[in-house]
Amino acid sequence: MFRRRSYSLVVVGLLFVMTMVLLLYGSRLFTDIEEEAHITQEDRIVVGVSQLGSESGWRTANTESVQNAFTQKNGYFLIYNNARQKQENQLKAIRSFISQRVDYIIFSPVVETGWETVLQEAKQAGIPVILMDRNVDVEDESLYVTCVGSDFEKEGEKAGRWLERELVQRRRSSQSINIVMLTGTEGSSSQIGRSAGFAAVAERHANWNILEEKCAEFTSTKGKEVMKTFLKRYPDIDVVVSQNDDMTFGAIEAIRESGRTVGVDGDIMILSFDAVRGALDMVADGVINVDIECNPNQGEYLLRVIDMLEAGEPVEKKYYVEEDVFTIENVTQELLQERTY
């Protein structure tokens, strides 16, 4: 009985001490927690991102790389917008970011033109603008800080140079070569650059006949539709240049339905861009002859740029991501397993 009573007194004593501590210091403890949470929220860098859409697997991977980079763990608060392939949606989103007083604006422009006014508004508000994936055509380049993305013209040149080498190997370099091109969204940086880069190589070859270029909007459905038109109009197509993998998928489907074959051992050579996992499978199987990589993993590059700006360091006007060229010779099982998009 004595031991139980002594134990009870000890418990009561401890409870009394704890109660006094809470009464004396409790409010201070909770205030510190609230202040710390408030400071953490205030210290986060707010980034507004307007993505041009979600038209392809590549675009989805590009979005995910940005979302994975600008996390709360990394000290960022991300406001994300999907423009659904409409410039007016991006203009509205950017103005919303300005009104919210974000720290940085990142956007991937649907087309190159028509941005001067809204970029001037961002500049007047003191908000740095960073371009992602694509570029803008403005007279005053101080309206944006930098651009992170691909060298689209170089990608087009890579495709042209590959075709040069392939025709030499096939002993067809002096033969007449009929080419059709499925192009992306008209006025977009990727469409302009890839077209210009390939054309620069094609101009050196009088026997390369570019029969027609037609916009297929970077989608599989439109790619199939445009390719069907080409096949009806031109019976002797040797090469298809398709400016992204999604259009390529549609084009291949149309060619096969017409009774013709594609790829390494086929009637028609297929030159594609982006190098997403599904397309690389086709490269490995000899269905697509070559795929020029367009690297969607740009989030870490953008993160480093903002870190530099936050540190007051100078940044370059353009940062190009690393990219490769894939054929049946260098698409390995290891590469396919590692491809997440």
pLDDT digits (tens, 9 = 90+) for 280-289: 999 999 999 9
pTM: 0.81
Give the C-alpha distances (Å, rounded to integers) separating 112 from 52, 88, 178. 12, 13, 30
β-strand partners of 47: 78, 104
Which residues of the chain fall short of a pLDDT of 70?
A: 1-42
Q: What is the pLDDT of residue 122?
A: 98
Assess whether 212 and 106 both reside in one domain: no
Assess whether 166 and 145 both reside in one domain: no
Assess whether 166 and 288 both reside in one domain: yes
How many domains, the chain? 3
Assess whether 98 and 121 both reside in one domain: yes
| Residue 160 maps to a domain | yes
Q: What is the pLDDT of residue 43?
A: 78
Q: What is the pLDDT of residue 108?
A: 97
Assess whether 24 and 76 both reside in one domain: no
Task: Check residue 50 and report its DSSP letter.
Answer: E
| Residue 315 maps to a domain | no
Domain that holds residue 105: 44-150+298-310
Which residue type is seen at 163?
L
Assess whether 193 and 263 both reside in one domain: yes
Q: What is the pLDDT of residue 26?
A: 40
| Residue 21 maps to a domain | yes
| Residue 263 maps to a domain | yes
Tokens of 262: 């594609």
Contact between 66 and 302 (Cβ < 8 Å): yes
| Residue 322 maps to a domain | no
